[in-house]
Structure formats: structure tokens, C-alpha cells
Amino acid sequence: MKPFLLVCTLLFGLGVSHAQVDEIKGASKNNSKKSGHSSDSDDSGGVGLDVFFFLFDGLGSLHTSKLQNRDNYPSAVSLDVAFQGAIKPSSYYVLQPRIRGTWGLFSTDFRMNYLIEDDVEGFKHIRTNDWQVLQLNLITNRFFTFRVGTGFMQEAFESYRYFSESAVMLNIHAPDQSKTLGFEFRFAKDWDTGVNPRRELNVQYQHQIFHASALHGYVTIGGLYQRYYNSINVWGVETGLVFRFF
């Protein structure tokens, strides 16, 4: 009962605005691109087909070995649905509904990131859509999971711009995956302008609270830190629920 009360308290408490929403909107507008993309071509000749097929064959073999190793890593084929949020008392809230599918070597991960403030004029918020289109689960065993990914971050406000986003994730877990300590780092960048719209570090502990056939439920607690446009800091205590099917 206590974990449930903690989740409710942190996710639904009220706070006072410290203007992060307006600052991030202003920084996004000020850093908007004023010119088009460069059309310069790359004359390096590209990667040879022999190298491409070598890499493709190597990834295929690694993918097959991970699928065959499900006795040691049962969630090699899985679906995660998460409802998590962070709060800085009397300031703002961050909500992060999220879904991730995993199939052996490969994962894809989509989330929405809401920053919400209770302003004197009412609630205001900004949202980003963050899709790690392709993640590679390079290490998957009974004790560790290590994955790297690439995709994009979309600012769902102002000019609705897109940025490249990379991610690195490390999980340390019990052999039956009932307990997990996870670290995640995300880095978004516009490589044409050099703008860094957001960096993020997330640390969380997951504890299994129920198990029914293929469904596993976890409560989470941890911390979230985000830095927008190299100057605007957002942080808070994070908690929530994760449902994992495997």
C-alpha cells in the first residue's frame, strides 16, 4: 500500500510555476534555424557492399544467439508499457508515458515527455515526442543489459522541430529480473546548427510487485535530470509503474 500512496502523491501533487515552460519555449524559438540545410554532397564513396553484408551477417548471428538464450534472459522478446512521472515540489512535474518492444538484438522505444507547471494563469505545459527508432541490445544476460539507440526528438510546440537523439542504457538486475537498477542517458542535437535542445540522465530502481503468467508488474523510484538548451535545468524525484509482458 505504501508504494501506491507514494506514486499517487508524487504524480498528482500541486506546485507553483518557476517558468521552465516559458524559458524552454523561448530558447527553442531563439535557436530556430534561419536557413535551409546544406546540400553539399559526400564524395567519400560510401561503404563497400562487402563491408555492409559482413556487418549484416554479424548482426543476424548475434540476434539469433540472443533469441536462443531466453533461458538466461527471459525478456529477450518482450513488451514494456510504463507510466512514470517526476516532481520537483512546488515547481513542476514531468510525465513520461512510454512503450518499448524488444525482439532479441533489436528494440524500439517511444515515449511522450510532458513538462507541466501550475502558473497563476492556469496549467501550462510543453511536450516532446521521443522515438528511439532502433536500439541494439548489445549485452543481454542474467545480470546485465546494455543497449544503445538512435532516433529523434520532436518538440511538439512552437515550430515543431525535429532533432537527432541518441541513447545509452545500462540495467543491473536480479537473475529472475524481479529487481533492476537502471541508468539511461539521452542526448538530442541539431547537427546542422550545433544546438543541444536537451540532455537527460535518468536513474531508477524497479521492484516487481506482482506476476501473473506473462505479465510482470513493477513499481519504480528514482531521479530524473534534464538540461534544455545548455541553460534550463529540470529535475525531480521520479516514480511510477511498469508493466512487462514476456
Q: Are 156 and 129 in contact (CB under 8 A)?
A: yes
**pLDDT at residue 49 in the model:** 61
**pLDDT at residue 35 in the model:** 38
Strand locations in the chain (E) = 77-88, 92-103, 106-119, 122-140, 144-155, 162-173, 179-189, 198-212, 215-228, 232-245
Strand-pairing partners, residue 155, are 128
User: Greater confidence, 44 or 116?
Assistant: 116
Q: Are 82 and 97 in contact (CB under 8 A)?
A: yes
Q: Please enumerate, as own/partner, the contacts of 202-205 that have beta carbons within 8 Å and a separation of 24 or more.
A: 202/238, 204/84, 204/238, 205/179, 205/180, 205/181
**pLDDT at residue 40 in the model:** 45
CA distance 69 to 13: 44
CA distance 67 to 130: 27
Helix (H) or strand (E) holding 67: helix 49-67
For the chain, the average pLDDT equals: 86
Q: Does the pTM of the predicted model rise above 0.85? A: no
- SS3 category, 171: strand
**pLDDT at residue 80 in the model:** 98
Strand-pairing partners, residue 83, are 97, 241
Confidence category of residue 138, pLDDT binned at 50, 70, 90: very high
Q: Are 27 and 229 in contact (CB under 8 A)?
A: yes
Q: Are 186 and 197 in contact (CB under 8 A)?
A: no
**pLDDT at residue 17 in the model:** 45
Q: Which residue has the cell 546494455?
A: 146
| Residue 230, C-alpha cell as written in the block | 545548455
What kind of fold does domain 2-31+48-245 have according to CATH? Lipocalin (2.40.128)
Domain regions of the chain by residue span: 2-31+48-245
* pLDDT over 90 (residue 121): no
**Integer CA distances (angstroms), 157 to 37, 98, 174, in order:** 21, 19, 40
Instruction: Average the pLDDT over 46-56 and give the result.
Output: 60
**Integer CA distances (angstroms), 183 to 20, 67, 199, 206, 243, in order:** 25, 24, 14, 11, 18
Alpha helix stretches (DSSP H) within 83-234: none
Q: Are 169 and 182 in contact (CB under 8 A)?
A: yes
Nearest one of 155, 214, 137 to 32, comparing CA atoms? 155
